[in-house]
Amino acid sequence: MSKTAFVFSGQGAQFAGMGKELCLCSKAAEDVFKTADTLRPGTSEQCFTADKGTLSETLNTQPCLFAADLAAAGALREAGVTPDCLAGFSLGEIPALAFGGYLTVEDAFTFVCARAKYMDECARKFPGAMFAVLKLSDDAVAEIASEVKDAYPVNYNCDGQMVVACGANSADILAEKVRGRGGKAVRLAVSGAFHSPFMDGAAQKLRRDFKDLSFKTPEIPVYANVTADIYTGADLLFRQVNSPVLWKKTIHAMRKAGVGTFIEVGAGKTLCGLISKTVPDAVVLNVEDKKSLDTTLEVLGNANR
């Protein structure tokens, strides 16, 4: 029998009202938001009522998405769905670690709030941009990045899609070079050049502040963005901030380990699209509200009959 994985949404997937419906139909989801509000008052209110602009500010995006991701996973588990393994895209890796038992929810949420603060500081100090580059091979994109000052391949999403981070002054040059090669450069709605050397300061501060952070014996294995393999220690959590996200490699590794069903938990269906392109034979589902929760439970129930 094939295995099931939960994959946790990353920054950029946020939307106004995320998590609200799940709180109305799931006590587990409601409890996640109560914990978030205890540690960071107003988190649930931001998720449920703030506009897209407010939710797109890194200081708000990361804690809010953490809560929405973990609430969706909790609602699934409450309904009887237990995954065999987990992964999270960028920010999504932290709620995955909480759900997998590596960290307490409180420690993980405290970490993500600090992560958001320090990444935001770096983005303000070193203005940058991120582009999803489409229609070109990974090698072609890497070559283009090498020709542009302060440009770095950072997210290996799927075949034909890679994200490049760059300094603000290099954004137009990068986009022009991509077009010149026959590709398409789509600027992402993020506030900085994440997962690149522009975030070195954030990684250093997190190491300093959380040097005593220790992982517990996990209940469910989590695949790391940095290695595309199962987590081996807290060092990977710090390295993740300024290292590329090896998402395509991660999905291939999970598929090789027997995962046949991937369920994106949190906001949106961005990861569903990437996974479908990477492993077309997999079952790909998502949970972000009551309708998607009901649909996912129905599909899983039918599969188990």
Please report the pLDDT score of residue 305 as a whole number.
61
Pick the closest to residue 92 from 73, 78, 79, 118 (CA basis): 73
Can you tell me the distance from the alpha carbon of 130 to that of 39, in angstroms, rounded to the nearest whole number? 30
Residues belonging to the active site = 90, 195
Neighbours of 265 (CB within 10 A): 34
Under DSSP, the state recorded for 40 is: S
Span 261-265, average pLDDT? 98
pLDDT at 190 over 90: no
- Does the domain spanning 3-124+197-303 belong to CATH 3.30.479.30? no
Question: CATH 3.40.366.10: which residues of the chain?
Answer: 3-124+197-303
* CATH number of the domain located at residue range(s) 127-187 in this protein: 3.30.70.250
Taking only the tens place, the pLDDT of each residue in 35-77 is: 999 999 999 999 999 998 899 899 999 999 999 999 999 999 9
Please report the pLDDT score of residue 214 as a whole number.
87
Q: Return the structure tokens found at 60.
A: 């708000």
Taking only the tens place, the pLDDT of each residue in 105-160 is: 999 999 999 999 999 999 999 999 999 999 999 999 999 999 999 999 999 999 99
Can you tell me the distance from the alpha carbon of 23 to that of 44, in angstroms, rounded to the nearest whole number? 10
Span 170-195, average pLDDT? 93
Can you tell me the distance from the alpha carbon of 85 to that of 62, in angstroms, rounded to the nearest whole number? 22
Taking only the tens place, the pLDDT of each residue in 234-258 is: 999 999 999 999 999 999 999 999 9
> How far is CA 30 from its chain centroid?
21
Please report the pLDDT score of residue 303 as a whole number.
72
Neighbours of 2 (CB within 10 A): 12
Mean pLDDT of the chain, nearest integer: 95
